[in-house]
Structure formats: structure tokens, C-alpha cells
Structure 1
Amino acid sequence: MPFRAPLTNHHADGTLCPADHKHTSSAKPLHPDCPGRAYTQAICSCGGWDMKQFGKGYVNECRNRHLAAHTQGPKVLRNLLRLDGS
């Protein structure tokens, strides 16, 4: 089963900012009832990685790197396979 790390946006009070609350690139709300995005969070289903930052793009970039590392397998195993010539 592949690991997941969904992005979630949050208001300053910690409440979830719904997906229909659109924002400008600087996190200013475009929805009239939204106080604005304070931070974006991603938590991996592996249980060993999470990130919470203001920059949504940065969180997404780090999330993609982390998820890609899961598909590469453990470094020790990769090194053993190289020694065997496989």
C-alpha cells in the first residue's frame, strides 16, 4: 500500500480551512467567510514525517520528496543489491 501525505490548510486558530476557501499566492482569502490560511500541513501515513509551514508550495515540495523516498526503498538494501551485481 503506498504511503499518503495529504495537504491540509488551516486558519490561525487551528481549524481546518475547507478546500472551497480559495486564497491568493500570499494566503489572503478570496472567500468572504475565510479569515485566511495561516499554515499548510502534511502528515505522512508512515507515521515518521510531518510538516507544518506557512508556505504551501514549500510543504508540497517537501511532501513530494518524502513520498519519493518511500519508493526508493531502504538505503542499506539498495547498497546490498549493488554489491550483488543485481
Structure 2
Amino acid sequence: MACSAPLTNHHDDGTLCPADHKHTSSGRPLHPDCPGRAYTQAICSCGGWEMKESGKGYVNESRNRHFASHTQGPKVLRDLLRVDGS
């Protein structure tokens, strides 16, 4: 099962900032009707991870690390499945 954790941007009041509202890297709005991006959030569909931070890049990097942990599986399972070459 492939998980997903879409990035969503939010205004200070918690409302969703639409995808067509472009921002500078610091979150300042480039769209005339946007008050600015206060935070970015991602919630994984696996139910085991979520993040809410002001830095969009940091949330994206953390999300990618989380996805990588899905492919590695739990350490206990990896250890059980490891083939000993000796």
C-alpha cells in the first residue's frame, strides 16, 4: 500500500491557502488576496506521521524521510528477514 502525504499551505487563521496563491520562499504572498502562508502541513495516510511547520522546505524534506522509512520497514522485520551469508 502506497501512502501519501500532500503538502498543504495555511493562513494564520488556519484556513487553507489555495494552490494558485504563490509565495516567496519566506511565505510572503505574491497573490493580491492572500494574507500569506503561515505554515505548511503534511499528514501521511498511514496514520503514523504528521508535521506542521512554518518552513515549507523543512516539511517537504521530513515528508521524504518519512516515505523512505516506509520502504525500509521496521528494524525487527529487517533483522528477521536478513540472510546470513556465513
Q: Distance in 2 between matches of 1:19 and 1:57?
A: 16
Counting only pairs closer than 5 Å after superposition, residues 37-76 of structure 1 correspond to structure 2 as 37-76=37-76
Output the amino acid matched with 1:23: H
* Secondary structure of the corresponding residue to residue 16 of structure 2: coil
- CA drift of 1:85 comes to 2.6
Identity among equivalent pairs (%): 81
- CA drift of 1:50 comes to 0.4
Match of 1:26 in 2: 26
- CA drift of 1:55 comes to 0.2
- CA drift of 1:52 comes to 0.2
Gaps of 5+ in 2: none
RMSD, aligned α-carbons: 1.1
* Secondary structure of the corresponding residue to residue 29 of structure 1: coil
Gaps of 5+ in 1: none
Output the amino acid matched with 1:85: D
Task: Summarize deviations over 1:16-64 as a string: whole Å, max 9, x none.
Answer: 0000000000100000000000000000001111000000000000000
User: TM-score of the superposition, structure 2-length normalised?
Assistant: 0.94
Q: Distance in 1 between matches of 2:54 and 2:62?
A: 13
Task: Give every structure 1 segment of 4 or more consecutive aligned residues whose post-TM-superposition deviation is greater than 4 Å.
Answer: none
- CA drift of 1:75 comes to 0.9
